[in-house]
Every structure is written in C-alpha cells, then in structure tokens.
C-alpha cells in the first residue's frame, strides 16, 4: 500500500487521501485467471487494512492522519483484517471455486485453521526473543563490554534449548541495526496482541456488529491525533489483553 496524499484540511478545504495498492501476485496462466495462494489473500487483506487506515483518515493535519501513528500501533488495522480470512461466515461470501462457484470445503478450511497454530509455540518464543534482545541493546546508556553475555542474558527467559557455541544472533539482526526497528521490534508481537483482542470484540458482539464496526472506524479515523491507548480503550472499553492472541495461537488452555 502506498499513500500519495494523506487526508487533511487546508485553508478550509478538505483534501481526500490518495492511496494505491500494488501487489506482486500470481499472474494468470494461459486461459486460467490469476489464482491467489492463501498467503497472497492474507497479504491482500493485510494491505487493505493499511489502505483503510489511510482512506478513513479524518484528521486536520496530514502528519497525524491515516497511518501516521505511533510505530507500535500501525500494524493493528492491517493484522486485524487478516482475521477475516479464517472466518467461515466471511469466507463463504467470496472464497469460491473459480469454475464451479462452489464454496471452500469445510475440511480445507479446518486444515487452514489448524495450520495457523503449527509450531506456534516456537515461533512465539522466537519473536519474544528478538524483542528482548532488541531492548537489551537499546535500554542502556553505558557501553557494552561483553556482547555475547548481553545476548545470552537477554535470550535466557525464552531459551528452548541451549545456544550452540559460536552462534550469535545480534550481528545478523538487521531489523534493529539496519532496518529501522531499533527499540521497536516488540511492536510485531504487540500488534498481534492488539489485533487479536480487537477482533475478539467482533466475535463477542456479533449481534451488535454495526456498532462495533462504527467504533473501529472511529479508531481508524483518528489516526495519530490521539494517544493509541486512549483510542484503543475507547474502542474496547478496557486495556488490551493477551488472552485472545494466546487462544488464537493455540497456547491458551
Ligand atoms: Zn503491514
């Protein structure tokens, strides 16, 4: 998703946002139309979440509307949208066989849902480890004397098996040393907490979906004009909780 112009009000005129989505998806082959893989569909929904964030921007200042929010809040709308790809009722509306029009068979959907939790425990501690290591490097003011000890200490809480001798993660951790995620790597997992918890409200209040959607729209429209936690609590009625994410990951008993 690319934003060419964010929503804003200038000299009494409202500028509407200009946004595009360009994907590098599976192309059509011969007479067959382009058939997207499930991951491509997830990407499409993900990017559409970013696009919605920009399109619904209703702020006064371009620097505070749409996706111009704090770094650890920007993936909430996009990851939130991915949840719809696993919901039978929503899939039934569009996930159809391109020749027969048949809906996605239930057993296939169950396999997709099951694949969501495959090796999730390992993936979770791996992500937490990256976040802890990032913070270990960035929450100190004194020089680091022993980089290996710092890494060992930071990763100890999530160690699944003893680290192999001579195997260091930090020199290859390009996200924090070359990728702009310094002291912000945690935001990947944090955004998952937010998106799972926010989506849970749509499940809990399915009968009240129009109101929940209106509240979520209000959260998106506010962009970065208010503190994310204030916006989130207005939507959810409370602070975010990790239970919905743990349940989705198959890690909640
Ligand atoms: Zn994204």
Q: Cα angle vertex 190, ends 184, 192, to 5°? A: 130
Integer Cα distance of 53 and 146 in angstroms: 43
Q: For the residues 128-156, what does the mean pLDDT come to?
A: 95
Q: Report the separation in Å between the CA atom of 77 and the middle of ligand 1, taken as the mean of its atom positions.
A: 8
Q: Point out the catalytic residue in the list 47, 159, 226, 243.
A: 47
114: helix, strand or coil: helix
Q: Report the separation in Å between the CA atom of 46 and the middle of ligand 1, taken as the mean of its atom positions.
A: 6
pLDDT for 90-135, tens place per residue? 888 889 999 999 999 989 999 998 898 999 999 999 999 999 999 9
Integer Cα distance of 80 and 195 in angstroms: 5
- 59 falls in which pLDDT band (50, 70, 90)? confident
Q: Report the separation in Å between the CA atom of 22 and the middle of ligand 1, taken as the mean of its atom positions.
A: 13
CB 198 within 8 A of CB 236: yes
Q: Is the pLDDT of residue 11 over 80?
A: yes
Q: Is the pLDDT of residue 48 over 90?
A: yes
**Cross-strand partners of 3:** 19
Q: Report the separation in Å between the CA atom of 68 and the middle of ligand 1, taken as the mean of its atom positions.
A: 13
For the question of residue 102 being annotated catalytic, the response is no
For residue 120, give both structure tokens.
């999730």
Burial class (CB in 10 A: 0-12, 13-18, 19+), 78: buried
DSSP sequence for 120-182: HHHHHHHHHHHHHHHHHHHS--SPPS-HHHHHHHHHGGG-SSPPPTT--SGGG-HHHHTSS-T
pLDDT for 169-197, tens place per residue? 999 999 998 888 899 999 999 999 999 99
Cα dist from 209 to 47, 119, 186, 202, whole Å: 22, 33, 31, 6
88: helix, strand or coil: helix
Domains, the chain, ordered by start: 2-115 (3.40.390.10)
**Cross-strand partners of 2:** 20
Q: Report the separation in Å between the CA atom of 50 and the middle of ligand 1, taken as the mean of its atom positions.
A: 7
Neighbours of ion ligand 1 (CB under 5 A): 78
Give the mean pLDDT of the chain. 93
Q: Is the pLDDT of residue 253 over 80?
A: no
Q: For the residues 15-29, what does the mean pLDDT come to?
A: 94
For residue 7, the model assigns a pLDDT of: 85
pLDDT for 191-226, tens place per residue? 999 999 999 999 999 999 999 999 999 999 999 999
């Amino acid at each position: 998703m690319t934003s060419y112009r964010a929503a804003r009000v200038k000299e009494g005129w409202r500028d509407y946002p200009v946004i595009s989505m360009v994907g590098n998806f599976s192309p059509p082959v011969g007479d067959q139309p382009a058939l997207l893989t499930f991951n491509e569909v997830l990407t499409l929904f993900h990017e559409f979440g970013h696009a919605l964030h920009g399109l619904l921007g209703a702020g006064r200042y371009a620097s505070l509307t749409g996706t111009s929010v704090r770094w650890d809040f920007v993936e909430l709308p996009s990851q939130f949208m991915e949840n719809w790809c696993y919901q039978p009722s929503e899939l039934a509306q569009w996930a159809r066989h391109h020749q027969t029009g048949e809906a996605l068979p239930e057993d296939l959907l169950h396999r997709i849902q099951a694949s969501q939790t495959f090796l999730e425990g390992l993936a979770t501690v791996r992500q937490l480890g990256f976040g802890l290591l990032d913070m270990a490097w960035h929450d100190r003011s004194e020089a680091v004397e022993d980089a290996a000890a710092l890494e060992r200490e930071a990763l100890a809480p999530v160690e699944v098996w003893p680290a192999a001798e001579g195997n260091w993660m930090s020199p290859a951790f390009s996200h924090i040393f070359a990728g702009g995620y310094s002291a912000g790597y945690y935001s990947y997992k944090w955004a998952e907490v937010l998106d799972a918890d926010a989506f849970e409200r749509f499940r809990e209040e399915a009968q009240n979906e129009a109101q929940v959607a209106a509240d979520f729209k209000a959260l998106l429209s506010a962009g970065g004009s208010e503190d994310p936690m204030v916006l989130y609590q207005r939507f959810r009625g409370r602070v975010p909780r990790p239970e919905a994410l743990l349940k989705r990951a198959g890690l909640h008993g």
